[in-house]
A = this chain, B = another copy of it.
Amino acid sequence: MDTPLATVLGRGMPQIPQPRSPVSVSDRMWSVMACFRLQEGPLTLGAISLRTGLPKTTVHRMVAQMARSGFLDRVDDGVTLGMRLFELGHQVPRSRRLRDLALPVLEDLQETTRTTVHLAVLNGTDALYVEILRPPRTQPLPSRVGGRLPAYSTGVGKALLAHAGESPFAATCKNGLRPLTPSTIRNENALRAELAWIRANGVAFDREESAVGIVCVAAPVFGAASKLLGALSVTGRRNELEVDRLAATIRMAGLSITRRLRDAAAVA
């Protein structure tokens, strides 16, 4: 994500005239798409060239091709991600199946708790939000469907990390624990202990670890063969949400979804 393509390409580092590691077109296409940021308008070819480190000519050609294929859209003065990507994104089965089966339970949870409900999956070392239900007419929290946060710093993320086995944990430690707030876990051993606690108790708490003033309770969701599929959480402002009282409710919701997933798997 933050890897500048120049690194991947072995460019922008003139001091080392490496034979230039072979780069697939697929890599280049990815890097072009990845340089679009949320909350930004269209990008010019020049901007894309700058961000990817690809020569202007190359960007020109690739954008033309990708626009023909529908990956990108040409708008009045620039380029944006294309509607075909929107379409494809909603067909990704990993998120889709989970979401569809979890939705009724999430709705119940949303209605009984009157708070914001999150559903997330683990992607690399990040928690990636798959669905968010907000109570109508409230100041929305900053979380976004399709957005991601480091797993160790959020409730859903820790619930995921706790049940995902050793390798994501190791990767997390290797990446380093950068604190988002004063309360974010910043120590490998503390994280290990926290995850053990989460495994033992079936819920994860987030006490202002991802954003100041925001707290949350989360529980994991499993599929057939006890495979970790995702996690759900209830989130709110510190003075409006009593996380301890909701722990049992969230665990319950997690188990409900797990049950639904297993039943669906049995039918299919």
Contacts and interface: CB of A to CB of B under 8 A. Distances in A.
Interface of A: 24-27, 29-30, 33, 36-38, 40-42, 62, 65-66, 68-71, 73, 80-96, 104, 107-108, 111, 121, 123, 128, 130, 136-137, 144-148
Contacts of A123: 83, 87
27 contacts: A24-B69, A25-B25, A25-B26, A25-B65, A29-B29, A29-B69, A30-B71, A30-B84, A33-B88, A36-B91, A37-B91, A81-B88, A83-B121, A85-B92, A86-B94, A86-B130, A86-B146, A87-B128, A87-B148, A88-B89, A88-B146, A89-B146, A90-B145, A91-B146, A104-B137, A108-B136, A111-B136
B68 A27 contact: yes
B91 A38 contact: yes
A25 B145 CA distance: 30
Nearest to A133: B136
Given A26-B29, A30-B69, A92 B86 contact: yes
B85 A88 contact: yes
A147 B88 CA distance: 9
Contacts of A86: 89-90, 92, 94-95, 128, 130, 146
Contacts of A25: 25-26, 29, 65
Nearest to A146: B90
Given A41-B93, A85-B88, 18 more contacts: A24-B65, A25-B26, A26-B29, A27-B65, A29-B29, A30-B69, A30-B71, A81-B88, A83-B121, A83-B128, A86-B90, A86-B92, A86-B128, A87-B128, A87-B148, A90-B145, A107-B136, A107-B137
A37 B92 CA distance: 10
A128 B85 CA distance: 12
Contacts of A145: 90
A66 B71 CA distance: 14
B83 A92 contact: yes
Contacts of A147: 90
